């Protein structure tokens, strides 16, 4: 059996994003409805033992980088012990976490001690009242405390994920740029994606990221294109001359980066998704006890992975060549 995770287009996959839960303590308006979100029953989720088996198989096939996500990963108990086990798997070199930050202050130290390398914290606004509008629950203050705790214990480089929303937080681009100039943080502006609910909300609030570069120019920053931030993936990164931090643009809709896609996703309920956007997924549950079967399934994911997604076509209201997923971001693992 061919053992490396190479798809039909020659893309080598060395990065697995693992969702440990679809539950969350926030209800961000671009990710979940305010009320009535249905969550998977606890007994349908993969156990940590199961996920470790999948990662062992994937690591033998060349996966070296992991990201733990959700839902909100920090609501699942025992995450530090789980990360310790992942870190001990031969071949795994880098483990990152994406979190909304609400529970991070309490857990940062234990996570670092367990072997977590770094965190991405989602932060769409620097205004407490607006935080309620976007996240609908929780408090901005808790997120800021989480970021400070992560910095104190060396979970760095810390990246902030900011989804830009037309008419909601676009007037904060300059504030985020200032933050990136003054603090040792990497601010990643992200385009709003039509995942699982390509409805009016997305169409009305989608904003192309060219706005960020215009704003940086207006604010008088001198920019240099950055070659590398550790683990930068699809981000188009910029250094602000004289600044402490930096910023990046992740523009899956206006300029997709599928050509260099190196990632697979594992959902909390056990599906391998070769692409965030399309409906295709392969459930690992029947293969969990058999390493060969698991590897075979990962190779099948390579076979069904399409060349690119069609979010730009979706925005232009053009016909799509395949079927988009109906799962939300929190149910896949963003
Ligand atoms: N709960 C954690 C958090 O918010 O960081 C991890 C899971 S969340 C689904 C992962 C990332 O996906 C977050 O940075 C979030 O802002 C982003 N996200 C969710 N829905 C999105 C959408 N429709 N378009 C773009 N980004 C989205
Ligand atoms: Fe929760 Fe993250 Fe989705 Fe916000 S983006 S609702 S924090 S899973």
Q: How far is Cα 151 from Cα 102, in angstroms, rounded to an integer?
A: 15
104 lines ligand 2 (CB under 6 A): no
pLDDT at residue 252, as a whole number: 87
pTM over 0.75: yes
pLDDT at residue 31, as a whole number: 94
Q: Check whether 6 has a pLDDT greater than 80.
A: yes
Q: Check whether 317 has a pLDDT greater than 60.
A: yes
Candidate from 22, 26, 140, 146 with most ligand 2 atoms within 8 A of CB, to mutate:
26
pLDDT at residue 254, as a whole number: 85
Please name which ligand lies nearest the alpha carbon of 125: 1
pLDDT digits (tens, 9 = 90+) for 18-36: 999 999 999 999 999 999 9
Q: Check whether 47 has a pLDDT greater than 50.
A: yes
DSSP code string of 247-295:
EEEE-TTTS--GGG--EEEE-TTSEEES-SSBS--EE-GGGTT-HHHHH
User: Which protein residue has the closest C-alpha to ligand 1 atom 8?
Assistant: 334
Domains of the chain, start order: 15-332 (3.20.20.70)
pLDDT at residue 2, as a whole number: 62
pLDDT at residue 233, as a whole number: 64
- 29 alpha carbon to ligand 2 midpoint, in Å? 9
Query: Is the separation of the CB atoms in 75 and 39 below 8 Å?
Result: no
- 87 alpha carbon to ligand 1 midpoint, in Å? 24
Query: Is the separation of the CB atoms in 257 and 272 below 8 Å?
Result: no
330 lines ligand 2 (CB under 6 A): yes
Sheet strands side by side (includes 263-266): 223-225, 236-240, 246-250, 186-191, 159-164, 118-122, 94-99, 65-69, 15-19, 263-266, 271-273, 282-283
Q: How far is Cα 264 from Cα 31, in angstroms, rounded to an integer?
A: 20
pLDDT digits (tens, 9 = 90+) for 221-266: 999 998 755 445 678 899 999 999 999 999 988 887 888 899 999 9
pLDDT digits (tens, 9 = 90+) for 99-128: 999 999 999 999 999 999 999 999 999 999
User: Which protein residue has the closest C-alpha to ligand 1 atom 7?
Assistant: 70
Return left, alpha or beta for 257; rule: phi > 0 is left, psi -120 to 50 is alpha, else beta: alpha
């Amino acid at each position: 059996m061919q053992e490396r995770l190479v798809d039909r287009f020659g893309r080598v996959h060395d990065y697995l994003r693992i969702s440990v839960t679809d539950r969350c303590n926030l209800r961000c308006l671009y990710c979940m409805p305010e009320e009535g979100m249905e969550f998977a029953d606890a007994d349908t989720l993969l156990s940590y033992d199961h996920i470790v088996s999948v990662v062992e198989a994937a690591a033998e096939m060349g996966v070296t980088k992991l990201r733990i996500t959700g839902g909100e990963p920090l609501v699942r108990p025992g995450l530090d012990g789980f990360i310790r086990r992942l870190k001990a798997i031969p071949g795994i070199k880098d483990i990152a976490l994406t979190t909304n930050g609400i529970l991070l202050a309490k857990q940062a130290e234990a996570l670092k001690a367990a072997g977590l390398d770094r965190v991405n914290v989602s932060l769409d606004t620097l205004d407490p009242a607006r935080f309620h509008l976007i996240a609908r629950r929780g408090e901005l203050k808790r997120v800021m405390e989480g970021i400070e705790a992560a910095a104190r214990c060396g979970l760095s480089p810390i990246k902030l994920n900011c989804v830009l929303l037309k008419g909601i937080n676009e007037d904060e681009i300059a504030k985020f740029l200032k933050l990136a100039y003054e603090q040792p943080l990497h601010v990643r502006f992200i385009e709003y994606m039509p995942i699982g609910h390509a409805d009016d909300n997305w169409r009305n609030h989608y904003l192309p990221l060219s706005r960020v570069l215009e704003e940086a120019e207006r604010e008088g920053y001198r920019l240099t294109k950055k070659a590398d931030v550790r683990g930068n993936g699809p981000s188009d990164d910029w250094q602000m001359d004289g600044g402490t931090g930096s910023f990046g643009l992740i523009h899956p809709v206006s300029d997709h980066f599928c050509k260099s896609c190196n990632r697979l996703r594992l959902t909390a309920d056990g599906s391998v998704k070769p692409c965030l956007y399309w409906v295709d997924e392969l459930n690992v549950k029947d293969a969990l006890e058999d390493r060969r079967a698991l590897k075979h399934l990962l190779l099948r994911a390579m076979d069904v992975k399409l060349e690119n997604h069609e979010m730009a076509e979706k925005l232009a209201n053009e016909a799509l060549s395949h079927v988009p997923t109906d799962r939300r971001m929190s149910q896949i693992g963003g």
